[in-house]
Amino acid sequence: MWKRATATLKSSLSLHITKEASKHNAFHSHRFISGSPLHFQEMDGICPKHVDSVITFVLGGPGSGKGTQCARIVETFGFKHLSAGDLLRKEVESASEYGTMILDTIREGRIVPSAVTVKLILREMESSDNHKFLIDGFPRSEENRIAFERITGSEPDFVLFFDCPEEEMVKRVLSRNQGRIDDNIDTIKKRLKVFEALNLPVVDHYERRGKLHRINAVGTEDEIFEQVRPVFAACELTAA
């Protein structure tokens, strides 16, 4: 399964976001799906580096342990980890024209428009020589999913979902201690609502597609990794 054709992965360099994208938040606007007003300008063409790429999406609520387990997967299986949240936070720090919009959106616990997030992800993929990608915290909505699949012309090879009870997620986020503006009880409550409304439909979608690996996210980090490991080990065997 390592070998797959993402032959239609298009160059992020050909993506442009209009200012309109920054005005519309995905939570309020699904116009991208119906009429594509976010104005991606896509040129035909393949990014040759990614013809054989493996793409794994890592889903789960805030604090479910996605980042923690991704670090273990990177260490054990050599994937390139792309955290959508980290990329967005880096964009805020880089004085990007979208910085204020991204920061406000994160502070309010909403979802940044796909035009911005997909562009950041593709830019990172193209600058990497790795061919195995863990895309963490994405897609967070059907709008994210549809935008990614439409732009790249590809689906993930498989999807991990860290299934964690809400009270455990709240406890973990409140003790995360990374100085994040969204790790406070008010924003967490909003993020959990957004997660249920927008992310769970994505989980259901991949379950129906037979691509979902549901991981019980309660337990020690080691115990959880012992559920994760066989998913990746099986794929390595298939590729051998």
Ligand X SMILES: Nc1ncnc2c1ncn2[C@@H]1O[C@H](COP(=O)(O)OP(=O)(O)O)[C@@H](O)[C@H]1O
- Please provide residue 53's backbone torsions phi and psi, each rounded to the nearest 5 degrees: -70, 150
Beta bridge partners of 56: 134, 158
Between 52 and 149, CB nearer to ligand YYY: 149
User: In sequence order, what are the residues at sequence separation of 6 or more whose Cβ sits closer than 8 angstroms to the Cβ of residue 191?
Assistant: 61, 62, 109, 182
Question: If contact means CB under 5 to 8 A according to the sort of partner, which of ligand YYY, ligand X, none does residue 10 touch?
Answer: none
Query: Considering the complex, what minimum distance in angstroms separates the CB of residue 106 from ligand YYY?
Result: 5
Question: If contact means CB under 5 to 8 A according to the sort of partner, which of ligand X, ligand YYY, none does residue 106 touch?
Answer: ligand YYY
Q: Which two tokens stand for residue 115?
A: 């035009």
Tell me if 204 contacts ligand X by CB under 6 A: no
Question: If contact means CB under 5 to 8 A according to the sort of partner, which of ligand X, ligand YYY, none does residue 117 touch?
Answer: ligand YYY
- Find the residue with minimal CB distance to ligand YYY: 85
Question: If contact means CB under 5 to 8 A according to the sort of partner, which of ligand YYY, ligand X, none does residue 113 touch?
Answer: none
DSSP conformational letter for 190: H
Between 6 and 64, CB nearer to ligand X: 64
Q: What is the CA radius of gyration of the chain?
A: 17
Site string for ligand X, 40-69 (x = CB under 6 A): --------------------x-xxxxxxx-
Query: Considering the complex, what minimum distance in angstroms separates the CB of residue 117 from ligand YYY?
Result: 5
CB 43 within 8 A of CB 12: no
CB 172 within 8 A of CB 178: no
**What is the edge-to-edge ordering of all strands in the sheet holding 132-136?**
80-83, 132-136, 54-60, 158-163, 212-216
Tell me if 172 contacts ligand X by CB under 6 A: yes
Of residues 97, 123, 101, 96, the one with CA closest to residue 112:
101
Question: If contact means CB under 5 to 8 A according to the sort of partner, which of ligand X, ligand YYY, none does residue 172 touch?
Answer: ligand X
Residues in the site for ligand X, rule: CB under 6 A? 60, 62-68, 172, 176, 219-221, 224
